[in-house]
């Protein structure tokens, strides 16, 4: 069986790319088709893969300003010739589901999210522009939405990463997807009971506006409790200027360092509405409980009283109330970890293999 993998962009290393790595281990001979491949931001071992980049690579400044070429993305993704493959697996938050395949080819789409900028963020994006730019953007996104809805019918099956994303798929495309949660590396993220908990709370996050790290900053400023923040992003300067001395920004850290901080923290703070959110599960795998906003993916991965607590609404006051009532002695390390094991790599691979076997059997490849 000839297999191809399709991925929106290879220009950062996050959850999507870790999922792609798992698929590539399952099908090591499979070529990877992607719109953009920025080698500077992807681990070196990807260079050993057979990666096929779209014509967009020839355009000026595409590595840094790829989003400005959104109107060419449908053309680029449809330009991949996949006629020689029996199975195509696409990992998509926007474009990859739109590849063109033969009726005899099985196309499985693993959807990280619907096209956020064309649906959820449409009005805010258009309102931020003026004059002709505003008109052209609104018109362009209108046609992108039509393309997006139309191409949702191209895969034989769509699998969502969470119930949160599944609801968007149902709303925008009228399709009820299967749910398979992305994996956390429970073999790497483990407890170490020789390490004692220290007197600090922890955030691990990209520092972007939608992450709502400002909620945690305001809450911990008021409480004067130590908070360590790992991560980089456009909001770092602004957040740093508002943070008091009890809050430290540690920048980007290696996976080994992050694991060490997970193990030593009293709890992870997760104030974000995420589509899924792998960080709470990494902390849980290390035996560290989570204090999370009760919305989005965290509501599917945090079991209140077992591996964490919720706060609601998404305000500093609600977070403060939960933190001040948090007692680490209420949580057993092994019970906390047990929740994460439901999302292990082994479980993910078993779930996906079952889908592939079922659909290939029905289509008689």
Lowest-confidence range among 73-82, 124-133, 213-222, 278-287? 124-133
Is the Cβ–Cβ distance between 272 and 293 less than 8 Å?
yes
Q: What percent of the chain has pLDDT over 70?
A: 99
pLDDT tens digits, residue range 167-183? 999 999 999 999 999 99
Q: What is the pLDDT of residue 248?
A: 97
**CATH class given for the domain over 201-343:** alpha beta
Residue indicated by tokens 């902390």: 283
In the structure, what pLDDT confidence band is assigned to residue 362 with cuts at 50, 70 and 90? confident
Looking at the DSSP bridge assignments, the partners of residue 308 are: 290, 304
Question: ∠ at Cα 56 (50, 62), nearest 5°?
Answer: 110
Residues in CB range of 33: below 8 A, 6 or more apart: 4, 5, 6, 7, 52, 54, 80, 82, 99
Quote the distance between the C-alpha of residue 60 and its chain's center.
28
Tens of pLDDT, residues 73-115: 999 999 999 999 999 999 999 999 999 999 999 999 999 999 9
Residue 54 three-state SS: coil
CATH number corresponding to 3-183+345-363: 3.40.50
Residue 60 has pLDDT above 80, yes or no: yes
Q: How confident is the model at residue 364 (pLDDT cuts 50, 70, 90)?
A: low
**Predicted confidence band of residue 55 (pLDDT cuts 50, 70, 90):** very high
**Residue ranges per domain, the chain?**
3-183+345-363, 201-343
Decide whether 3-183+345-363 matches 201-343 in CATH topology. yes
Q: Does position 363 have pLDDT exceeding 80, yes or no?
A: no
Would you say how long the chain is, in residues?
365
287-301: per-residue pLDDT in tens? Answer: 999 999 999 999 999
Lowest mean pLDDT among 117-126, 274-283, 354-363: 354-363
Q: In the chain, how long is the greatest CA-to-CA distance?
A: 63
pLDDT band at 365 (very low <50, low <70, confident <90, very high): low
- What pLDDT digit, counting tens, does each position of 218-234 carry? 999 999 999 999 999 98
Dihedral sign, Cα of residue 231, residue 232, residue 235, residue 236: positive
């Amino acid at each position: 069986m000839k297999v191809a993998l399709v991925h929106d962009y290879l220009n950062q290393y996050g959850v999507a790319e870790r999922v792609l790595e798992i698929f590539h281990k399952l099908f090591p001979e499979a070529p990877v088709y992607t719109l953009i491949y920025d080698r500077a931001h992807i681990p070196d071992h990807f260079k050993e893969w057979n990666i096929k980049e779209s014509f967009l690579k020839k355009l000026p400044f595409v590595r840094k300003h790829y989003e400005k070429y959104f109107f060419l993305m449908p053309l680029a993704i449809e330009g991949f010739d996949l006629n020689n493959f029996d199975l195509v697996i696409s990992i998509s938050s926007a474009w990859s589901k739109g590849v063109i395949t033969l009726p005899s080819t099985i196309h499985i789409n693993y959807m990280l999210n619907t096209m956020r900028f064309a649906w959820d963020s449409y009005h805010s994006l258009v309102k931020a522009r003026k004059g002709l730019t505003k008109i052209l953007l609104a018109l362009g996104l209108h046609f992108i939405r039509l393309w997006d809805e139309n191409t949702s019918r191209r895969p034989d099956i769509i699998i969502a990463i969470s119930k949160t994303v599944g609801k968007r798929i149902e709303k925008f495309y009228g399709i009820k997807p299967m749910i398979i949660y992305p994996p956390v590396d429970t073999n790497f993220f483990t407890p170490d009971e020789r390490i004692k908990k220290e007197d600090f709370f922890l955030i691990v996050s990209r520092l972007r506006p939608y992450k709502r790290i400002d909620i945690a900053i305001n809450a911990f400023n008021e409480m004067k409790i130590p908070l360590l923040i790992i991560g980089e992003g456009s909001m770092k300067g602004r957040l740093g200027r508002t943070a008091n001395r009890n809050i430290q920004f540690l920048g980007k850290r290696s996976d080994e360092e992050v694991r060490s901080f997970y193990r030593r923290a009293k709890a992870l703070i997760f104030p974000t509405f995420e589509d899924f959110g792998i960080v709470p599960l990494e902390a849980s795998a290390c035996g560290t409980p989570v204090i999370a906003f009760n919305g989005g993916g965290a509501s599917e991965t945090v079991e209140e009283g077992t591996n964490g607590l919720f706060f609601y609404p998404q305000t500093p006051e609600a977070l403060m109330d939960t933190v001040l009532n948090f007692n680490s002695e209420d949580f057993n390390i092994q019970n906390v970890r047990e929740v994460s094991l439901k999302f292990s790599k082994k479980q993910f691979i078993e779930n996906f293999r079952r889908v592939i076997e079922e659909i290939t059997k029905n289509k008689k490849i």
